[in-house]
Structure 1
Amino acid sequence: MSLSNPSQVLLRNSELLIAKSPLLINLPEDGFIDAYVDIHKPDSISCFNTNFIDYQAIIKKHGSSSNKNNVQTTFASTYQTDTCHDLVIITFPKSKAELNFTLAIIAHCIDETTKILLVGEKKGGIQSAEKLTQNILSCCQKVDAARHCMLFVGLFEPEKLSVVFNLQDWFKKYHIVVEGIELTIASLPGVFSQQKLDVGTSLLLSNLPDKIVGKVLDFGCGAGVISCFIGKKFNEANLSLLDVSALALTSAKESLALNNLAGNVFPSNSLSDVNEHYHHVVSNPPFHQGVKTHYQASEDFLAGINQKLNKQGNITIVANSFLRYQPIMEAHIGNTRVITKEKGFTIYQAQLSSK
């Protein structure tokens, strides 16, 4: 795999990367780790990823407990360690609110001598890094701009951020009422539709099957809105929720708990870790990866979900009306109906053809 543009920008500023125990936050596995080790030979490298796809790629490349580069990898919504890192490299997140959350979760394992590097593509909003971190970092300044990317460096100011991290402080909680059903939703920074019910999901909830019984899969669950609604409306539903984001999964668990519901919440790269079969699949499938529009994951999901449906199983999704999902569903699942088209969104429902 060729080095991404942000990784190339990092490596051309090699003098900033000298460290004994660096922490890499949400960096992809693109060859950067190997290049870094060859140049600087740190004692160990810690990788913290909230994206399951990136985590899996790093595990696949460096996952052995006896790996020569001593790479330690974590997939979670928060980071815990006894190590004091002397360098932290952060991929600038899509959600600006997520940046300060990320700095808060590492406050316990850095000090005033720790270099903080922020790297990202210009179109991802990294130009605002200095302003966003002015109450947490000192001397945050741009040190490079190349390949449509920017690199900032700063130092941590311990007195500006408590080293005692409380996850509950970071949940945005809001109440919604859909078809007379009241729900409380909790969402961490960076999770889709963090502060209110989005239009597409609202339309989906009003156009679900009349009866939902048995195993239900909520694909790309986000903060768990769909599952919470189904769990409240259909008492005989057995909920499973998956997402690629650790922040989403933690949010979904919190939302379920707030609504006195239970469900199996787990990470998956599309259908990679789906091991059961379901009577119903419901989704507002994501089509963004980072700052880029990316349809392949959703198309792969629609093409493969037939293998995860029970006989006579069905799937109901909402999608932007410009997305041509109906032919894919017809080809791989079976008869696909357009339930409604409103406000730029379309609801599709497909019934599994006889196997």
Structure 2
Amino acid sequence: MDPRSEVLLRQAELFQGPLLIAGAPPDGLLAQLPQAHAWTWHAGDHALLESRFVGRCHCAVEPPAVDVPTAVLFLPKSRELAAYLLTTLAARLQGGTLYVVGEKRGGIESVARHLQAFGKPRKLDSARHCQLWQVSVEQAPQAAALHTLAKQFELSLPDGPLQVVSLPGVFSHGRLDRGTAVLLRHLEALPEGHVLDFGCGAGVLGAAVKRRYPGSHVTMLDVDAFAVAASRLTLAANGLEAEVVQGDGIDAAPLDLEVILSNPPFHTGVHTDYQASENLLQKSAIHLRKGGQIRLVANTFLHYKPIIEAALGNCQVLEEADGFRIYQATR
């Protein structure tokens, strides 16, 4: 069980009534809190929770319409996302109680100053390298519309400026990350057809490809609901249309693809996780049509070439720059 869930269950008597758990981990916590509902924005976590607790799970950028006097936030790594979630939950809890649980290395010790805006916070527990905080919401804030928290910036590309819109919690929020910047230099001579932007984030690659190759059908896929929402905003800001899908990894992608483009993720919260990226490489041949191509960027310390060669029988490095490599392989 997640150590944060273990800390909650040390105070289980506080959580037996109607309850909303935001950022709920995909463990057995809900089995011990029978009146709790889960809110997550991670497609994989939602699928696991829904398979065990049917009808008690919600996956979106906004909380479900359940009337509860108590909520628990599993503190996310992103400070911007944490601020949005705290405000959104507290706005619904006038006279109710908000709890926040998180790992010390995830920033839980700094949460008290955020909670002071709602009431008088107190630390209830500290164990498993985690802390549990509580505040009775005496001053419920005004909920902020998510789109008002978006950050927009402009990229200068060879075919003109591209507007990018990102949301709290999305990778590289409000700026272009160095890996994607390198990959944007290698969009020439892409086969036209069905293109997948895997781990689309704010939609930089998918939007750039759709504008450069308007005849291609572009699918943008991410596990995170905030990334999916940001990608749709980026497309709209540039007058572009593409398919945007929330799903858990390459298994959620279409088949018979002409191109897979990716700056694949390898972090989950405060923990390092390579599974989604390695699954992408290992299963790329299943999703590419004969002659289809994968082109991706990765940190130089990640040993992806042998995995790509094992899956597709070939792999070349197009460029190595700024601590990144561009890999290309053909099925």
- TM > 0.5: yes
| More moved, 257-266 vs 137-146 | 137-146
State how far apart, in whole Å, the 1-side matches of 2:159 and 2:26 are: 46
Deviation of 1:15 (Å):
3.3
Q: Residue 132 of structure 2 corresponds to which residue in structure 1? A: 151
Deviation of 1:158 (Å):
4.0
Please tell me whether the aligned partners of residues 250 and 276 of structure 2 are also in contact (alpha carbons under 8 angstroms): no
State how far apart, in whole Å, the 2-side matches of 1:54 and 1:48 are: 10
1:162 equivalenced with 2:160 (yes/no) = no
Deviation of 1:107 (Å):
4.8
Q: Residue 121 of structure 1 corresponds to which residue in structure 2? A: 103
Please tell me whether the aligned partners of residues 95 and 189 of structure 1 are also in contact (alpha carbons under 8 angstroms): yes
Q: Residue 140 of structure 1 corresponds to which residue in structure 2? A: 121
TM-score by length of 2: 0.96
Cα distance change on mapping 1:210 and 1:275 into 2, 3 Å: closer
State how far apart, in whole Å, the 1-side matches of 2:115 and 2:152 are: 24
Q: Residue 42 of structure 2 corresponds to which residue in structure 1? A: 51
Please tell me whether the aligned partners of residues 281 and 308 of structure 2 are also in contact (alpha carbons under 8 angstroms): yes
- Residue aligned with 1:272, SS: helix
State how far apart, in whole Å, the 1-side matches of 2:21 and 2:287 are: 35
Q: Residue 15 of structure 2 corresponds to which residue in structure 1? A: 17
Please tell me whether the aligned partners of residues 185 and 255 of structure 1 are also in contact (alpha carbons under 8 angstroms): yes
Cα distance change on mapping 1:227 and 1:296 into 2, 3 Å: same
Specify the code of the residue in structure 2 equivalent to 1:184: Q
Deviation of 1:232 (Å):
1.7
Q: Residue 66 of structure 1 corresponds to which residue in structure 2? A: none
TM-score by length of 1: 0.89
Please tell me whether the aligned partners of residues 223 and 255 of structure 1 are also in contact (alpha carbons under 8 angstroms): yes
- Residue aligned with 2:301, SS: coil
Structure 2 unaligned segments of length 5 or more: list them: none
Q: Following superposition of structure 1 onto structure 2, how do residues 167-316 of structure 1 map, counting pairs within 5 Å?
A: 167-316=146-295
Task: Kindly report the root-mean-square deviation, in angstroms, between the aligned alpha carbons of the 2 structures.
Answer: 1.5
1:109 equivalenced with 2:109 (yes/no) = no
State how far apart, in whole Å, the 1-side matches of 2:25 and 2:92 are: 22
1:336 equivalenced with 2:318 (yes/no) = no
- Residue aligned with 1:138, SS: coil
Of 71, 83, 96, which residue of structure 2 is paired with 1:100?
A: 83
Please tell me whether the aligned partners of residues 220 and 286 of structure 1 are also in contact (alpha carbons under 8 angstroms): yes
Cα distance change on mapping 1:349 and 1:6 into 2, 3 Å: same
State how far apart, in whole Å, the 2-side matches of 1:229 and 1:133 are: 40
State how far apart, in whole Å, the 1-side matches of 2:115 and 2:192 are: 48
1:73 equivalenced with 2:57 (yes/no) = yes
* Identity over aligned pairs, percent: 34
1:150-197 alpha-carbon deviations (Å, 9 max, x no partner): 1111122445x214x423212111111123531111111010011111
Structure 1 unaligned segments of length 5 or more: list them: 64-70
State how many pairs are aligned. Answer: 331
Please tell me whether the aligned partners of residues 124 and 133 of structure 2 are also in contact (alpha carbons under 8 angstroms): yes
